[in-house]
Chains A and B, each alone.
Chain A
Amino acid sequence: MSRARTQADPEAIDRTLDKASIEHYERLAAEADAHLDELAAQAPLKDVTLEDQLRRRGITRREFLKMTAVMTATMALPSMFDLRVARAAELATRLPVIWQELQSCTGNTMALIRNSNPGIDELLLDLISLEYSEVLMAPSGQAAEDQLEAAIEQYRGAYIAVFEGSVPMADDGSYLTIGPAGHTGIEIVKHVAENAAAVIAAGACAAYGGIPAARPNPTAAVGIADFLNTQRINKPVVNLPACPVSSTNVVGTILEYALFGRLPSLDAFGRPLWAYGDRIHDKCERRGHFDAGQFVEGWSDIEGLKRGLCLFKVGCKGPMAHNNCGVVRYNDGASWPIMSGHGCIGCSEPGFWDTLTPFEVPLAGRRFPVFGIDADADTIGAVALGAAAVGIAAHAGATLVKSATEQRAAKKPEAKKEQ
């Protein structure tokens, strides 16, 4: 059975470190140690220990350390953090988490419970103290709301608030009400976020509004960070977009929080750099075929599909999309969209439902009626691409230029003879 592969060989990272980097990482390590000591001094919120969890799953300590080493590498930290990440996982019993559903399809919760056996994801979810989750908890009604209030009260200022789904702003928020008193999404997010230590927006809807916010956005839906801005609530927010979010990215973010007591370094769209720093295209298993100009020419090109050629011409948005899907894959490494022969739809990008559709139309050949002219990328070039993916340009200008160049390169073999 296929397995998720590591992002990089940690040893190799260490070998390439120069003196300045080593000093940087040593400072980070000292910071982590100080924070982990602080956590260790606190009483666990849950009478569940790592040892119990490992024993129950029949995982040896050595296997556990291997898993945390993989996670460390995925989080773009060198191997000197392996044991520190392991310790952070162990101390996760000190982390209270509240998971709040909003305008969502529950796909992100499902992604967590359907993913990865018996990996660190599941392990960590058992270790953290999940104080409230509508989907997974036993009580309903007043008992559920009481539990939420009790958790907020008890862990005020200390819990991580995870939101799934967007916040509808239209008509005073009446498109989403929860609880016996009929509180709106607006009221709930304010209440839960205001008292949190940090906020995680899990999935495309919580991050940027997602599909409810797609044109014409009938409920005036917004993502969590935008919402908190409008309410002038100042909390650290990390966006974990994708539809649904990868459980590895949720777990890595929680581990990083346990490690340093703060959220990861983010890109201009609030995404952790270690997970969203590369384009899908950069780490794609079909990249060699792109470079060699070998493409699936259309859906009836069965030979191209069989050979696993590049999907750019059938609409793959990998060159515009930032995430680590190609590395960690989905469902315990079973597959990911590009492996299954369908292009990437760019679901980690803000506004992708509007800017990266139609999904089957290649970027280079796309027409952009929004400009009032009927032009494609060849005639309006990088300007159109920049506008279509306005999000990406802000933090990946260089990549964008490269991507436009690549797209022109991609046009060439098309001009030749189809295979």
Chain B
Amino acid sequence: MAKHVIDPITRIEGHLRIEIEVDDAGDVFEANSSSTAFRGFETIMKGRDPRDVGMFAQRICGVCTFHHFERGVEATENVYGATIPPNARSLRSLIWAAQTVNDHSTHFYQLHAMDWFDVVSALSADPAAATEEAHRWHPNPFNASVSHYSAVAAKLLAFVQSGQLGPFAGGYWGHPKYLLSPEQNLILASHYLDNLSVQRLSAQATAIFGGKNPHPQSLIVGGITSARDGLDAHRIAQYQFLMQKSMDFVQRAYLPDIEMIGSVYRQEALAGQGGGVPNYLSFGGLSLSEQPWDNRSYLLPRGVVLGRDLSTVHPVDAMKIGEEVAHSWYTYAGGQTSLHPLRGQTNPAYEGFNPDGTLKTAGGYSWVKSPRYDGNPMEVGPLARLIVAYAAGKPEVRAVMDDYVAKLGVPFEFFYSTVGRTAARALETKIVGDYVPTLLGGLINNVKGGDDRFFNRYEAKDGEGYSMGEAPRGSLSHWLVVRNGAVENYQAIVPSTWNAGPKDARGARGPYEAALVGQPMADPESPLEVIRTIHSFDPCLACAVHVLNRNGEEIARFEVEV
């Protein structure tokens, strides 16, 4: 048995450490996920003006930018009983959609694709054969021509010959688990470079109504400030144009690439590699109405699927969420194993590392807590949203998912894998992007009807509230208590906490760890398979980390009637 430490996991936001132990056959039999940075956000929130909460919360993450902003603003709206007008709903949802398209495509190409394609192998590709190969996956593939592929190959060759690989340096090139042909590798490498430019368009689209990206600035409690942009046909057309260009790339590059990867890596998917825990959670993605969370409608509905049983979608009950700290760098006074986040305590108990620099896995080994739903570890993210929406019978989702597995000639269970998780992210990009014209139509019709409201007045008051929703990486909830007009307590439970948390008191693993255990490893010194599975969750660790409030000697108490 050998222990391998992988830190830093690169190409994620924030800081993540993974330790795996492999048996003699080279399979992973133990995996530990640790987050190694902490900022203390909730403590910083205390005493602030509740109207500022969204602006502060947004700085939790520069990748999931906007989502923390919207959750924070909504949490205050929930406390105040503030509502927003339909135009504000439309603009917020348009930013959500553009941000999701941006986030998913950037995650796949810039942060994840190098786990699937081998840059060095792409050098031996024949540009003519690559062009032919690209046409196998789409009738009019993106930037596919002999001259373009030759130029890309020449660029890659120049990188390699100069010894200056830049971001390509030091990868696991030549690893036996890179299964694509040289031509397929060249196609992906080409799209990697293409998306560096294309992804800017959807980021720009979010800035049309958000002011900037990262960290848009236009949301306010009760509405949105970018009324002038929302009423301007030119700005709406600009948004539409940018999204059409972005979706053109999704249609002609991203989706065909995902089909290609699904086809080549099908055996690993069918073997269930990287499947992880069988439970899926969604708080509802892409809001379609301006009602508060409990009776709002969504493009991707909220719900819980347990044990991969698609016949039942359980309603989400916020009171069934509990957080455990058996293996986190925290203790609970009173010895409870699990606390509802609203009654959470955060007493830091940093135990450090073993003398040899490895994690002390018998005790605490992470700054992340272990959230559980009704005692179950839950996967969150694009796959979870699509599984819940599929089980709920959403026709748009059923069509896209069924079509994908039908094209590959595989059963639906294909999705319960690392490959399936990566595919779900692409399919969701299509579902969300395809809905943009409907969203725009709603805004235009409403404005045409004479409604130019973007803000509803509200009365500031004390109380308790929350906001639950979906960020690209998964379920995100913010919880807020206001006393004497100021923030008394603030909590956020973020997607990567659900996925990255360490074991719970019963020793049950969270999604990352569960997805790694049993993974065959070709070469533990080059842990490509581990990196690929972790990246398939789209880790966002500064974000997971921020939830851990450090209150010094004080015990955080957070009580909200939900």
Q: What residues of chain A have their CB less than 8 Å away from a CB belonging to chain B?
A: 1, 45-48, 52, 56, 101, 103-111, 113-118, 122, 129-131, 133-147, 168, 171, 174-182, 210-212, 214-219, 221, 243-244, 299-300, 302, 305-306, 308, 330-332, 334-342, 345, 353, 357-361
State the CA gap A107–B453 with chains docked (Å): 32
- Rank and list the top 9 A-B pairs by shortest CB-CB distance, nearest first: A107-B62, A47-B162, A218-B40, A340-B211, A138-B171, A341-B225, A139-B170, A330-B212, A358-B49
Whether a CB of chain A sits under 8 angstroms from the CB of B350 is yes
Q: Does the CB pair B10–A337 fall under 8 Å?
A: no
**Which chain B positions have C-beta within 8 A of A181?**
357
Whether a CB of chain A sits under 8 angstroms from the CB of B531 is yes
Whether a CB of chain A sits under 8 angstroms from the CB of B229 is yes
**Which chain A positions have C-beta within 8 A of B38?**
168, 175-176, 219
State the CA gap A342–B9 with chains docked (Å): 37
**Could you give 12 example pairs across A and B, Cβ below 8 Å?**
A45-B164, A106-B61, A107-B214, A117-B200, A143-B171, A144-B8, A176-B15, A211-B39, A299-B223, A337-B217, A338-B211, A359-B52
Q: Does the CB pair B171–A56 fall under 8 Å?
A: no
**Which chain B positions have C-beta within 8 A of A217?**
44
Of A47, A110, A130, chain B has the most CB atoms within 10 Å of the CB of A110
B8 nearest CB across to chain A (Å): 5
Which residue in chain B gives the minimum CB-CB distance to A109? B62
Q: What residues of chain B have their CB less than 8 Å away from a CB belonging to chain A?
A: 5-15, 36-41, 43-44, 46-49, 51-52, 55-56, 59-63, 65, 102, 106, 110-111, 114, 119, 151, 155, 158-159, 161-162, 164, 166-172, 196-197, 199-201, 203-204, 206-218, 220, 222-223, 225-229, 231, 238, 350, 352-353, 357, 452-455, 457, 527, 531, 542-543, 549-552
State the CA gap A101–B114 with chains docked (Å): 21
State the CA gap A340–B38 with chains docked (Å): 33
Q: Does the CB pair A308–B59 fall under 8 Å?
A: no
Q: Which of A111, A147, A221, A299 contacts B220 (CB 8 A)?
A: A299
Q: Which of A48, A108, A300 contacts B455 (CB 8 A)?
A: A300
**Which chain A positions have C-beta within 8 A of B531?**
140
Interface of A is mostly: loop
Q: Does the CB pair B214–A244 fall under 8 Å?
A: yes
Q: Which of A47, A118, A336 contacts B158 (CB 8 A)?
A: A47
Q: Does the CB pair B49–A141 fall under 8 Å?
A: no
Q: Does the CB pair B8–A212 fall under 8 Å?
A: no
Q: Does the CB pair A178–B36 fall under 8 Å?
A: yes
Q: Does the CB pair B11–A331 fall under 8 Å?
A: no
Q: Which of B46, B169, B218, B227 contacts A139 (CB 8 A)?
A: B169
Q: Does the CB pair B213–A103 fall under 8 Å?
A: no
State the CA gap A29–B196 with chains docked (Å): 35
B541 nearest CB across to chain A (Å): 10
Which residue in chain A gives the minimum CB-CB distance to B229? A340
Q: Does the CB pair A114–B229 fall under 8 Å?
A: no
Which residue in chain A gives the minimum CB-CB distance to B61? A105
A145 nearest CB across to chain B (Å): 8
B232 nearest CB across to chain A (Å): 9
Known: A103-B39, A175-B37, A243-B59. A305 touches B227 (CB 8 A): yes
Of B15, B210, B542, chain A has the most CB atoms within 10 Å of the CB of B15
Q: Does the CB pair B59–A114 fall under 8 Å?
A: no
Which residue in chain B gives the minimum CB-CB distance to A125? B196
Q: Does the CB pair A244–B162 fall under 8 Å?
A: no
Q: Does the CB pair A105–B59 fall under 8 Å?
A: yes
Q: Which of B12, B51, B65 contacts A107 (CB 8 A)?
A: B65
Q: Does the CB pair B453–A302 fall under 8 Å?
A: yes
State the CA gap A16–B531 with chains docked (Å): 59
